[in-house]
A and B are shown apart, each in its own frame.
Chain A
Amino acid sequence: MIADDSDAIRMVLKDILDIGHHELVAEATNGFETVEKFIETKPDLLLLDMAMPKKDGINALKEILAANINAKIVMITASDSVNTMTTCINAGALAYLLKPFNFEDVLKTITKILDGAKN
């Protein structure tokens, strides 16, 4: 599942999932929709943007993990501050991808997490 309010970013992420032969089960463009669709579709992994309208990525992540402690979530953000990174990991994200992201790194991270290894 992909959650990002940018059509362009979702498009790139969809292409990356496609190249990696991963099925996209849902997309969301804000935090509320992200939580709803995650609970509804139960994706193997969520690529979640931090800065989204209505509900930010961190709060969406916390709600999803409260509903499903085993949810696999990778945060995506343009913020390169250590604080942001620490916040994501402490909140329960398995990994953190920095925008502008390296496409190969995104696929490697997805593959690694889906294979069961914590990034």
Chain B
Amino acid sequence: MKIVFSLVKMSDHFHKIARQEIQEELDNLKQILLQCNDDTDISNNGNKIEKHLHKIKGLAPMMGQNNVGEIAKLNDAILRHIIENGMLGGAYQIINESLHMMQEIFNDTNKKNIDEFRTKIRNTFSHIFNQ
């Protein structure tokens, strides 16, 4: 049964469609962020940004893009915090850096180490991640 499930997971057709959907989410996220200039704008667009991160977080790991999924998951937590508590200093910079990192990883066949970036996000918003 495990072999059958692996085949399902790795199906070329699934991979192709999942890739298209994640690319679309990244593109939509980019469009929103292009309209943002600071932490206040991020807060004002919190729900829209979170929606795209949420989709990426759920789908990317299913097509083997674990690092993209993890960055989306960290940013999803930041956005949920913003939606519940309001503007968060430093969010604009981290979310933009995260988008660039996800785009780079998603379009690069070489495995990228995200340890340093993960630590940066966690340290910047330790009050969110150390709860």
Contact = CB atoms under 8 A, between A and B. Distances in A.
Interface of A: 6-9, 11-12, 15-16, 19, 51, 77-79, 81, 99-101, 103-104
A8 B8 contact: no
Contact of A99 (B4, B11, B17, B59): B59
Interface residues of B, number: 25
Interface in B86-124: none
Interface of B is mostly: helix
Contacts, number: 59
B69 interface: yes
B59 A100 contact: yes
A19 B9 CA distance: 13
Given A8-B21, A15-B11, A99 B1 contact: no
Contact of A8 (B2, B51, B59): B59
A12 B62 contact: yes
Minimum-distance CB pairs A-B, first 4: A78-B58, A99-B58, A8-B18, A100-B61
